[in-house]
Amino acid sequence: MDPPYWKTEGYGVDFDWREYERLAQLLRTMKGKAVVSINDHPQIRELFDGLQIVPLQLRYLIGTGDSRGKQAGELIIKNWDDSQAMLI
Structure confidence at residue 60 (pLDDT): 65
Tell me the percentage of the chain whose pLDDT exceeds 90. Answer: 56
The model's pTM? 0.77
Residue range 74-87, pLDDT digits in tens: 999 999 988 766 55
For residue 66, the SS3 value is coil
Q: 25 and 59 in contact (C-beta within 8 Å)?
A: no
Cα–Cα distance measured from residue 57 to residue 29, given in angstroms and rounded to the nearest whole number: 29
pLDDT at residue 58, as a whole number: 76
